Structure 1
């Protein structure tokens, strides 16, 4: 990097050292819970999905889920002449556990990029945002795609973080398989379209909704998270049927056509599997991060002409109430372009 950029980096390092009360950012330092909470809050402000779900700091590395939302029947009557009133715990039905394990979020910025940014008045923000944005993106991807935890992950073979940690869908498959649809009439396939298991996307979402445990099926916060390819396919078919009808064409252009599926508000979430369907509430999905586990180091690597940031944290993906979520195995979803003659 050139001399001007070097001065900018030195100023950045000094600012980070003061922010986290450390003498040397080139040595690994821990981030206090108060500072970590601010980092989490900033990430939530910048990421609409993280702002909808729970991102929680927990004291212990493992334990029982916090069960953030109250649920169940607490209303009742008691004849106090003959017995005491018995309070009920509205958070006692989840039964899920968590185990926060180390995940590394290490990034680099090449000297040529830093030199290009150096004259920007917001240089420090540019550097910080790149790291923060990638951490948020990766956390979401792993939550939906994560299948296992490898001793050493392989991003080339698992570009969605499949081997970094077990995400929400894998947890659902393992802990409540009855609410995880893997196939229809054909082994290993879920067909959506004419002559398929579901004639359309609306029917598929409605069926997934029916898998929700009865005590949660009428909860007003249930939503349908639907993959972009499924939404695009459904929209295209609607165009084919109604695109020449002025009133229906207006509905499409106003994007009202993707407003509800299966009677639920439908959401398109970044980095969600393109053929995925999940019915749950946003507050039923959590990321737990262990307090005092966030570690960071910033390092100038002249041997590789780049500036590196190393960050790690112990974390886990948690479903607060297993009965309040249902989903499909997105890898098994098949669509048809020829009214059910072939599926892909």
Structure 2
């Protein structure tokens, strides 16, 4: 059955099946690479709403990078032109290797459903986990290590929040207190923010003035913040726990500061961000994508690998604000 599976994969990518049988990796052409990236993107509703883009170079200018200022005006005896600021308008990609060992037992169970179902099942399993990993790195990524080991994937790549903190530190609110001891108190007596609506409005006002009145802004909120808000709202309205569970947090919460509230996959539990979904991007180098599928006798399974150069991009830092999730503390319920 494994050879039949390899034949299908070879036909899918237009390569010689013997390349796979020999355990060799193969280049994926840009068209197939884009389709593969699209298939992974569709495994997550959040990823499907942001940009996942194939680029030519490992380093370069952002695709949707902003001018970082207004571009309309007038010049007497000439033409008004705004320049693109290079300081915040570049990206860099890094080696990214997604690989998984599929145990023979798992493979054989799927094989019992037929080779077509087998191929679809493995693709869904791998693509879904890859999508979750991409979200995890986007929110928690802090550095690029030669060899990765962090369970939260902080060392795979530099994610959106770390990019914002590095490039626009003023746009990441750390709270009150001495340096390194800051705290953001939400809810309860003497809270800095008594509810998420106040927090959302504060973050919105931290955007560059030209972005503050946009109608496509979203408020990304962590599950613990959303759950706390849900509990408070349900208590105010006298809802029982069963009624609150039936409605769900999303129904109870609605919008914040005039913005839609969303909780993306693997988002920091006490985190909050204001931006637009189109301001967040993941770039991959079109010509760097490689795949391999091989049997590993020693590990008793089949190795599925997806290699590429990849990077995370905040298109316009002035269009994103956030809080430092690790600094958030909840006050006592009033």
Q: TM-score, normalised by structure 2?
A: 0.89
Aligned residues: 323
Q: How does 1:1-344 map to 2 (within 5 A)?
A: 7=1, 9-23=2-16, 24-25=19-20, 26-67=23-64, 73-76=70-73, 83-86=77-80, 95-121=88-114, 122-154=117-149, 158-185=150-177, 187-194=181-188, 195-243=190-238, 255-339=250-334
What is the deviation of 1:190? 1.0
- 1:148–1:50 CA distance, 2 compared to 1 (3 A): same
Structure 1 counterpart SS, 2:46: helix
What is the deviation of 1:263? 2.0
What is the distance in 2 between the residues matched to 1:299 and 1:162?
28
- 1:261–1:93 CA distance, 2 compared to 1 (3 A): farther
Query: Alpha-carbon deviations, 1:45-74, whole Å to 9, x = none?
Result: 332111111011110110121226788545
CA RMSD of aligned residues (A): 2.5
What is the distance in 1 between the residues matched to 2:108 and 2:244?
49
Gapped runs of 5+ residues in structure 1? 1-6, 340-344
What is the deviation of 1:140? 0.7
Query: Alpha-carbon deviations, 1:151-192, whole Å to 9, x = none?
Result: 1111xxx22201111100000000000000112257321110
What is the distance in 2 between the residues matched to 1:212 and 1:124?
46
Runs of 4+ in 1 over 4 A off after TM superposition: 68-79, 84-89, 91-94, 248-255
What is the deviation of 1:311? 1.6
Structure 1 counterpart SS, 2:194: coil
Q: Is the 8 A contact 1:96 1:322 kept in 2?
A: no
Structure 2 counterpart SS, 1:12: helix
1:4 aligned residue: none
What is the deviation of 1:128? 1.3
